[in-house]
């Protein structure tokens, strides 16, 4: 509208001149956004290098601990994607470490993060859910059994986190699409484990 008003009032001003006066502002905006983008990518690269350091040493626990401390959902989702392809390396202890990260990813505004979290939770709950449930509901062990006590403590932590998931799932079910399908499947697996 402004452009048309100026052109109607002064036939000497063309659209090209208006554009060139705004080009300086546009270029400045693009450079600022570019700098922010580069800084974000550099930060993400540094975080991924930290993860790679632990991964190269076969320290999956260290990688998971590091990603828990890094407030970057993209890096967390990247690690979850890798772990999803290597389910055979995951243990009950790692499951208990992953649950807080996966719950945090469900709060992300990025659909990819929530999708990865739901898919990973679906796989992990299918494997470890029955173990957690049976350990929690088992009668107390008589006599000292450090392994059983450690397992019960780990399963208790998992149980607390697993109780939070059904409260979050309706949000994804209402959205529809792939997220809803995965959330419904996870809800069923949680009910059956």
Model confidence pLDDT, tens digit, residues 163-172:
999 999 999 9
| Separation of alpha carbons 64 and 51, rounded Å | 8
Can you tell me whether residue 49 is helix, strand or coil?
helix
Average pLDDT over residues 129-141: 90
The sign of the torsion formed by the CA atoms of 140, 145, 147, 153 equals: positive
What is the percent of the chain where pLDDT is above 70?
A: 87
Neighbours of 62 (CB within 10 A): 15
pLDDT at 22: 66
Q: Is the pLDDT reported for residue 15 higher than 60? A: no
The pTM is what? Answer: 0.78
Q: Which residue's entry shows tokens 């009910």?
A: 191
In angstroms, what CA-CA distances link 80 with 73, 94, 124, 134? 10, 12, 11, 26
pLDDT at 147: 86
pLDDT at 101: 96
């Amino acid at each position: 509208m402004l452009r048309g008003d100026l052109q109607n009032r002064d036939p000497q001003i063309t659209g090209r001149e208006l554009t060139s006066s705004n080009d300086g502002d546009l270029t400045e905006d693009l450079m600022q956004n570019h700098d922010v983008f580069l800084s974000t990518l550099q930060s993400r690269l540094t975080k991924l290098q930290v993860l790679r350091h632990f991964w190269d040493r076969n320290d999956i626990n260290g990688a998971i601990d590091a990603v828990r401390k890094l407030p970057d959902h993209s890096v967390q989702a990247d690690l979850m994607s890798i772990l999803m392809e290597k389910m055979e390396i995951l243990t009950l202890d790692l499951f208990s470490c992953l649950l807080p990260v996966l719950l945090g990813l469900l709060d992300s505004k990025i659909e990819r993060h929530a999708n990865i979290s739901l898919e990973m939770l679906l796989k992990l709950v299918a494997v470890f859910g029955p173990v957690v449930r049976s350990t929690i509901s088992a009668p107390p062990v008589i006599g000292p059994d450090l392994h059983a006590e450690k397992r019960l403590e780990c399963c208790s932590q998992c149980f607390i986190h697993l109780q939070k998931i059904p409260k979050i799932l309706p949000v994804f079910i209402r959205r529809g699409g792939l997220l809803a399908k995965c959330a419904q499947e996870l809800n069923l697996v949680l009910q059956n484990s």
